[in-house]
């Protein structure tokens, strides 16, 4: 069965690009209820729960999980960066839509914006859709920039899947 984005969010995942930007939309099916997946995704203060390259995170401006708050994300060694400052742009609990942007940091992810939506897909399955837009890095083509970011986002989504499925399994054992 092919997943179809609901019309209410399809425009969120079809950005209009500027000539220097690239974008990608990635899908991950997770064998866990949307409520469990949403609890992980919507916790802006704790991305390290499912993002393996995040070493630590703390809110530096505003209240945690409030739109426009800023977080400082310290990344794991081995990446071409040590930190990122990110702003929560969208947090819609009713439609399960989450969005953030990178506003600064010591990396080449310029003008990065991401939106993620969660969609129950029958039973205890959730489809996560993540779309990002980013300026092509100065020394790279758009294709190279997207290939690099796709690798990170895919890993984050696979880890989200594993963590959510583990939590769902634990919840089932307690019932």
Helix axes 142-174, 34-41, angle to 10 degrees: 120
> Can you give the pLDDT at residue 2?
60
- Give the CA dihedral 39, 59, 25, 134, nearest 10 degrees: 180
Residue range 24-76, pLDDT digits in tens: 999 999 999 999 999 999 999 999 999 999 999 999 999 999 999 999 999 98
Contact predicate 83/106, CB 8 Å: yes
Helix (H) or strand (E) holding 18: none
Q: Above pLDDT 70, what percent of the chain?
A: 97
pLDDT tens, residue by residue, 2-25? 667 677 777 788 899 999 999 999
pLDDT band at 94 (very low <50, low <70, confident <90, very high): very high
CA distance 101 to 140: 21
CATH code of domain 18-173? 3.30.530.20
Other beta carbons less than 10 A from residue 112's beta carbon: 19
Assign 53 to helix, strand or coil: coil
Q: Map 93-158 to HEC letters.
A: CCCCEEEEEEEEECCCCCCCEEEEEEEECCCCCEEEEEEEEEECCCCCCHHHHHHHHHHHHHHHHH
Nearest-angstrom CA–CA distance, 106 and 136: 16
Backbone angles phi, psi at 130, to 5 degrees: -125, 130
Sign for the CA dihedral angle at 57, 62, 65, 68 comes to negative
Mean pLDDT, the chain, as a whole number? 92
What letter does residue 4 receive in the DSSP assignment?
-
Q: How far is CA 162 from CA 3, 82, 85, in A?
A: 20, 25, 26
Reported as type and span, the H/E element at residue 50 is none
- Tracing tokens 């990446």 back to the chain, one arrives at 79
Residue 106 tokens, joined: 């010591």
């Amino acid at each position: 069965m092919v997943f179809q984005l609901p019309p209410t969010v399809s425009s969120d995942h079809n950005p209009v690009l500027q000539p220097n930007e690239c974008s990608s939309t990635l899908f991950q099916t997770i064998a866990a209820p949307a409520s469990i997946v949403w609890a992980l995704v919507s916790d802006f203060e704790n991305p390290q729960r499912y993002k393996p390259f995040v070493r630590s995170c703390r809110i530096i401006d505003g209240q945690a999980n409030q739109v426009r708050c800023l977080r400082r994300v310290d990344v794991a060694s081995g990446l071409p960066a040590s930190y990122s400052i990110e702003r929560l742009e969208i947090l819609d609990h009713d439609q399960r839509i989450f969005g953030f942007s990178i506003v600064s940091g010591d990396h080449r992810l310029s003008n990065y914006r991401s939106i993620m939506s969660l969609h129950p897909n029958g039973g205890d399955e959730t489809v996560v859709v993540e779309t990002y837009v980013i300026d092509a890095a100065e020394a790279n083509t758009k294709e190279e920039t997207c290939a690099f970011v796709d690798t990170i986002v895919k890993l984050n989504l696979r880890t989200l899947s594993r963590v959510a499925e583990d939590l769902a399994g634990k919840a089932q054992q307690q019932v």
